[in-house]
Structure 1
Amino acid sequence: MTAVDESRSTGTGAASEAVAALIMELQAVGLRIETELETSRKGGAGPSDSGMLWIEGVPVTVPPSSESPYSLRAEDDGQGIYRDGTKIASVSGTARPRFYDLTTADGIPYHQIALLHLDSLASTVVQACNYWGNSDQCGFCGIGLSLAAGTTIAKKTPEMLAEVATAARDLDGAVDATLTTGSSVAPDRGALYVARCGHAVKQAAGLPVEVQFEPPRDLDTINQVHDLGIDALGIHIESFDPAVLARVAPGKHRTGIDTYFRTWEHAVKLFGEGRVSTYVILGMGEDPDLTVAMCKRAIDIGVYPFVVPLRPVAGSLMENIPAPARDYTEPIYRKVAGFLAERGLGADTAVAGCARCQACSSLNLIQHAGTAPPCSSTTTGTPAPLLQIGKRPGA
């Protein structure tokens, strides 16, 4: 009997708490891989440098680590997570997606066009960003790494993505699609191209689609994206702490936090509450009280703040920054989960995208466990240590 099995005997809330606790630990300290792990990813703009697992039926991404006290081991009927020789939880669903073995008519492997993140198809449709390789490069991002490694192509077309999405749905059970793009200098910031790609996926495969882009200069761009039938938007600020944003994402800092809120408010009116989300990364030196307060402000206008721990990406400017400890992330999760519960927002309202998948966070597990009471205070403890990222290219 695993630790999670024992928790189940006391009720589903206790089981959810046990799984949430384990996932928070794994995302902080990593997982030793002592068996084959088919689904993993390096580089890119999504859950990079991570193993993708189903732990007790919950989708999870975790960083591999040779120093973790937790290990992934093969078993007769699957895999398990162990600590000190004791099985902690069961693991399933790590087989290589079947559509990865297909190619387009002109010879492009499907896995260079899109990847399966557990049950969500994902692609960076333009594998370039005007912030990459200069003083504006975001410290946490690895968008240029996979292109340099030859594991993807520079630009995916709507036709390519429609073809791959259909195969991913039929062969591997993909349930939605998440399409993102590097930032563009164009007034729409790349939103219209990624939305056209999303429209093609919906037309061909019928999957719910989230598209992700930075705030466009003209809010009418959001209207045009909505008119293409897109289901959800990800407009990612990364940090609500302006000092941290200026240090780790200078381009986003220049856009301005107020601009993000104006864009979100307009988007929520079109797409509905819970269908507009933003990444909030923990562990970059942010003020936790400010972070929680701004998450509440976002929730109050119907935006889902997808709170995740920093995932250090090898080759990025923050590759040597450790992931934040569970002691730091858990109080923030609990407070934000309480606000989400009050507002009636959750993974189910997100429909598609990162907030629907939840594999990179424990936020939804905490909320589902029913142990995140409404919070009248935003006090979470001491701020994360101030972090220094690597020297920027060209500096």
Structure 2
Amino acid sequence: MNVSRGSSAVASPESPPPPAQVPGPAAAAAALSTLVVDLQARGLRVEVPLERRSGGAGPSDSGMLWVGGFPITVPTDNAAAADSPYVLKAEDDGYAIFEGSQRLASASTQQRPRFYDLRTDDGIPYWKIGLLHLDSFASTVVQTCSYWGNDDQCKFCGIGVSLDSGRTIVKKSPEQLAEVAMAAKELDGAVDATLTTGSSNGVDRGARYVARCGHAVREATGLPVEVQFEPPLNLDVIDEVADLGIDSVGIHVESFDPKVLAHVAPAKARTGIEHYFRAWERAVARFGEGQVSTYVILGMGEDPEITVEGCRRAIDMGVFPFVVPIRPVAGSLMEDVVPPERDYTERIYRRVASYMSERGMDSSVPKAGCARCQACSGLQSVQAVLQIGPRPGQIPHAV
């Protein structure tokens, strides 16, 4: 018998209990996506061992894990995380995310990579040359930048913090990177390599050297490689990078809002957003649609409409807009910025993800790099909702 809400009718003693309400795939995917995005906004308290990045460039002051199958880096070591309603707890057969007594999602964690315990012949610890971001080998090949320490310094950046703390070396050689990347692949299952660099004053802005390093890694390991650099002054340099067999490139505009870009990254603003589009056009012609990506950082005061329109324009030319919330870096000029709330990032994610889905672009397209990994963004989880749950095999480490 169907009983409407508020009816006084009751089941007879012989009637079986009503079945438990199980959310459908769309509702479950939406709840998980909301959790992923909120974790990146509010952080996570941790009661179990968890591999973390502390300070400096990259996903700093963060834990690395999979939540409900989605890779995620989440703040664990800042003020927001200390007050987070979410906590990672151990279970009999693994881990889970809880809010109070309510279990929200299963989780699995990254343990300390085994290659971190090795050293080069001249005594440099492997972890000072490259790190494992979940399943991606990553390194900043030149840990200096022509903008650092002057009026051009990008306010969100922490490239010099890592170096000052002694957690890395100034310049990694192609041979060192190939050696360490091979260990990351063989000992810890790295599936790609992501190499970035500080910007130089040369016409190539550092692209040639990071590409040489990427070529060495690819030749030694067979891993797909992404290299990241600023738009070269001479766009022919992009062809040189492609000729070295690099799989994907990241050319990061950071913000499509020119006012925000001028404030947070003055040198990038002088390069000009239109020069980024020209560089992307050249890169897409060589690397293919979806193999060129750009970071788009949320929470720096940007105009949402300008941001979404910039993402749409990039998508139309085959560029993957990797939309992320700002992750304040201790020691950077924006260390005290509060990350944007979930409602804000989620609204932009939905609009961008919807357009990406229309154009057939998702995280399965990039061969390597941040857009392949997706852990620093909630975009993948939002796109899964639009697809009524993730496609089989698309999301790794489902638990």
Provide TM-score, normalisation by structure 1: 0.90
**C-alpha contact (below 8 Å) 1:42/1:146 kept by paired residues:** no
Deviations 1:362-386 (A, max 9, x none): 11221122269xxxxxxxxxxxxxx
> How many angstroms does 1:15 deviate by?
3.2
RMSD in angstroms over aligned alpha carbons? 1.4
**C-alpha contact (below 8 Å) 2:36/2:381 kept by paired residues:** no
In structure 2, which of residues 34, 37, 47 is the aligned counterpart of residue 21 of structure 1?
34
In structure 2, which of residues 22, 35, 54 is the aligned counterpart of residue 42 of structure 1?
54
Q: Which residue of 1 aligns with 2:369?
A: 353
In structure 2, which of residues 234, 258, 279 is the aligned counterpart of residue 263 of structure 1?
279
- Greater Cα radius of gyration, structure 1 or 2: 2
> How many angstroms does 1:11 deviate by?
4.2
Q: Which residue of 2 aligns with 1:91?
A: 107
Counterpart CA distance in 1 for 2:97 and 2:64 is: 13
**C-alpha contact (below 8 Å) 1:43/1:143 kept by paired residues:** no
Q: Which residue of 2 aligns with 1:385?
A: none
In structure 2, which of residues 363, 383, 386 is the aligned counterpart of residue 367 of structure 1?
383
Deviations 1:199-228 (A, max 9, x none): 001111100000000000111100000000
Runs of 4+ in 1 over 4 A off after TM superposition: none
Counterpart CA distance in 2 for 1:274 and 1:310 is: 23
Counterpart CA distance in 1 for 2:279 and 2:366 is: 17
> How many angstroms does 1:17 deviate by?
2.0
Q: Which residue of 2 aligns with 1:189?
A: 205
**C-alpha contact (below 8 Å) 2:56/2:330 kept by paired residues:** no
User: Mind listing any 5+ residue stretches in structure 1 that lack a counterpart?
Assistant: 1-5, 373-395
Counterpart CA distance in 2 for 1:132 and 1:76 is: 47
Counterpart CA distance in 1 for 2:24 and 2:185 is: 34
Q: Which residue of 1 aligns with 2:307?
A: 291
Please tell me the residue identity of whatever aligns with 2:119.
Answer: T
Q: Which residue of 1 aligns with 2:329?
A: 313
Deviations 1:68-95 (A, max 9, x none): 0111123333222111122211221321
Deviations 1:264-302 (A, max 9, x none): 001000100000000000000000011001100110100
Please tell me the residue identity of whatever aligns with 1:265.
Answer: E
Counterpart CA distance in 1 for 2:24 and 2:181 is: 38
Counterpart CA distance in 1 for 2:186 and 2:209 is: 25
Q: Which residue of 1 aligns with 2:140?
A: 124
Counterpart CA distance in 1 for 2:329 and 2:357 is: 32
Q: Are 1:56 and 2:68 an aligned pair?
A: yes
Counterpart CA distance in 2 for 1:219 and 1:272 is: 16
Counterpart CA distance in 2 for 1:13 and 1:106 is: 54
In structure 2, which of residues 351, 356, 359 is the aligned counterpart of residue 335 of structure 1?
351
Residue-pair matches, total: 365
Counterpart CA distance in 2 for 1:370 and 1:301 is: 22
Q: Which residue of 1 aligns with 2:393?
A: none
> How many angstroms does 1:36 deviate by?
2.0
> How many angstroms does 1:135 deviate by?
0.9
Q: Which residue of 1 aligns with 2:217?
A: 201
Q: Secondary structure at the match of 1:348?
A: coil
Q: Which residue of 1 aligns with 2:189?
A: 173
- Give the share of equivalent positions with the same residue, in percent: 65
User: Mind listing any 5+ residue stretches in structure 2 that lack a counterpart?
Assistant: 1-19, 389-399
In structure 2, which of residues 165, 168, 172 is the aligned counterpart of residue 149 of structure 1?
165
